[in-house]
């Protein structure tokens, strides 16, 4: 089997971590008997400065021919405003392919020290990725006057809420059988009460899954105090955004946090990426931790149906962090991005 992968390295360390992850993915493909055919797209802030757009006009159409997209990071605030780079590339891709699930695994790899005392947590946070609080509905009136009013309306649809929760229940079934649904339905009486109702309907359908409802403030605290008590967490766009930053922090930082943007069963390419950005402060020096992007690559293989290869990549990362010898500066070591990737690829060959 062969999979076609669109690579969008982007800006700054994006190019470095995608190069690194590709080495590991190629090694995994060779070992597990499938082929990965990559085509790289130079869409980035440099592309914007040269051509006046972040991606080519037919970019989305070209991407639709691929099985998956692996993205590094987009943004270079020194030359292009972040609002331009984000709205010109990342958001159009999420929107065009209706990538309504944003799934982020959060756990500590062996040997990695997070800020918490708890070490045994293993979370999958699923964030609704297309509607909710980030729908963009609203506006301002009487601008600049003492009577100014600004309104930002959340939009939740039954289709939107049900499909992301259903994905959560399916994942819970495959994992520990526990699901946490996040709202603030004591304070937000329309949208969040609706979310609770849809949760209860699905909970009846998935009677084998233990479903618990949490308010977002309570679960934010619980992520710090008792992260091991949680497994699959499903939340709206805004709440998921905030909770996954907590997740990234407790798993050791941005160098480890990976993200899958997918439309399960949609027949469209998913987009897999590290959570971090282009890190202008360390770009071009081989200092970036590639593990977040390698992990994103493992999620990509899993989504493509190559679960064994994805699991082998995770095991190889664990072997490298557990041994503690090859580590980038953010992990307390002195190795380069490429050296960490080479160590993971080598562990994969041994594994
Ligand atoms: P950032 O994530 O690029 O960097 C924040 C801090 O974390 C920096 O000190 C950086 O050195 C460090 N860091 C990030 N990734 C690392 C890694 N793999 N290894 C070691 N250290 C790492 O966030 P920042 O500085 O706010 O944004 C820089 C640019 O990236 C902006 O243009 C922003 O819009 C863009 N960005 C793009 C994202 C994307 O493409 N999905 C996500 C976040 C930011
Ligand atoms: Mg965020």
The complex scores an ipTM of: 0.98
Report pLDDT for 47: 96
The tens place of each residue's pLDDT in the chain, 351 residues long, gives 999 999 999 999 999 999 999 999 999 999 999 999 999 999 999 999 999 999 999 999 999 999 999 999 999 999 999 989 988 999 899 989 999 999 999 999 999 989 998 778 999 999 999 999 998 899 999 999 999 999 999 999 999 999 999 999 999 999 999 999 999 999 999 999 999 999 999 999 999 999 999 999 999 999 999 999 999 999 999 999 999 999 999 999 999 999 999 999 889 999 999 999 999 999 999 999 999 999 999 999 999 999 999 999 999 999 999 999 999 999 999 999 999 999 999 999 887
Q: Which ligand has an atom closest to residue 246 CA? A: 2
**Strand order through the sheet with 258-262:** 35-40, 2-10, 68-73, 270-274, 258-262, 101-107, 122-128, 232-235, 178-183, 210-215
Q: Closest residue (by CA) to atom 4 of ligand 1?
A: 279
Tallying the residues shown for the chain, one arrives at 351
Q: What is the pLDDT of residue 102?
A: 98
User: CATH: 3.30.460.80, 3.40.718.10, 3.90.550.10, 3.40.50.300. Which one for 115-250?
Assistant: 3.40.718.10
Facing residues of 35 across strands? 2
Instruction: Look at ligand 1, atom 32, and give the residue with the nearest C-alpha.
Output: 75
Give the per-residue pLDDT at 118.
77
Q: Atom 12 (ligand 1): residue with closest C-alpha?
A: 279
Task: Return the structure tokens found at 242.
Answer: 């905030």
Which atom number of ligand 1 is nearest to the Cα of residue 289? Answer: 19
Structure token pair of residue 9: 């390295």
pLDDT of 136: 85
184 is catalytic: yes
CA 143 – CA 56 distance, rounded (Å): 36
Beta pairing partners, 11: none
Q: What is the pLDDT of residue 265?
A: 87
As annotated, the residues of the chain forming the CATH 3.40.718.10 domain(s) are 1-99+260-351, 115-250
Distance 207 CA to ligand 1 centre (A): 41
Give DSSP secondary structure letters for 97-132.
TT--EEEEEEEPPTT---SSS----EEEEEEE-SSE
pLDDT at 269: 98
Q: Is the CB of 68 under 6 A from ligand 1?
A: no
Out of 184, 206, 214, 231, the active site residue is: 184
Class of domain 1-99+260-351: alpha beta
- Atom in ligand 1 nearest the alpha carbon of residue 292: 18
Longest dimension (CA), the chain: 68
Pick the atom of ligand 1 nearest to 72's CA. Answer: 40
Nearest to 71 by CA among 275, 245, 257, 279: 275
Radius of gyration of the chain (CA): 20
CB 243 within 8 A of CB 220: yes
- Residue where the block lists tokens 């605290």: 221
3 state SS of 52: coil
Its pTM stands at: 0.96
* Residues whose CB falls within 8 Å of the CB of residue 3, separated by 6 or more in sequence, listed in order: 34, 35, 36, 37, 67, 68, 304
Contact indicator for 204, 66 with CB cutoff of 8 Å: no
Per-residue pLDDT, 271 = 98
The pLDDT score that the predictor gives to residue 119 is: 79
């Amino acid at each position: 089997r062969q999979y076609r992968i669109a690579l969008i390295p982007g800006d700054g360390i994006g190019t470095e971590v995608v190069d690194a992850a590709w080495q590991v993915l190629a090694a995994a493909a060779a070992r597990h008997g499938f082929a990965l055919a990559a085509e790289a797209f130079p869409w980035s802030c440099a592309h914007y400065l040269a051509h006046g757009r972040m991606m080519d006009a037919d970019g989305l159409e070209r991407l639709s021919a691929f099985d998956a997209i692996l993205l590094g990071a987009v943004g270079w605030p020194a030359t292009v405003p972040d609002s331009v780079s984000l709205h010109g590339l990342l958001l159009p891709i999420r929107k065009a392919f209706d990538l309504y699930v944003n799934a982020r695994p959060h756990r500590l790899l062996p040997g990695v020290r997070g800020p918490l005392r708890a070490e045994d947590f293993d979370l999958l946070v699923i964030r609704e990725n297309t509607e909710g609080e980030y729908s963009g509905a609203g506006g301002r009136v009487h601008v600049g006057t003492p009577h100014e009013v600004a309104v930002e309306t959340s939009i939740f649809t039954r289709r939107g809420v049900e499909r992301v929760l259903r994905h959560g229940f399916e994942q819970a079934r495959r994992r520990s059988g526990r699901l946490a649904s996040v709202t603030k339905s004591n304070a937000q009486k329309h949208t969040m009460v609706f979310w609770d109702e849809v949760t209860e309907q699905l909970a009846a359908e998935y009677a084998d899954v233990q479903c618990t409802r949490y308010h977002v403030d309570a679960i934010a605290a619980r992520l710090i105090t008792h992260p091991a008590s949680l497994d699959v967490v499903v939340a709206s766009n805004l709440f998921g955004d905030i909770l996954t930053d907590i997740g990234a922090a407790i798993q050791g930082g941005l160098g480890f946090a990976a993200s899958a943007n997918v439309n399960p069963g949609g027949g469209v390419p998913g987009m897999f990426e590290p959570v971090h950005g282009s890190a202008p402060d360390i770009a071009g020096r081989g200092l970036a931790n590639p593990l977040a992007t390698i992990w994103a690559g493992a999620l990509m293989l899993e989504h493509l149906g190559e679960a064994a290869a994805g699991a082998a990549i995770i095991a190889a990362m664990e072997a490298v962090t557990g041994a503690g010898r090859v580590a980038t500066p953010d992990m307390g070591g002195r190795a380069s991005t490429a050296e960490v990737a080479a160590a993971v690829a080598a562990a994969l060959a041994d594994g």
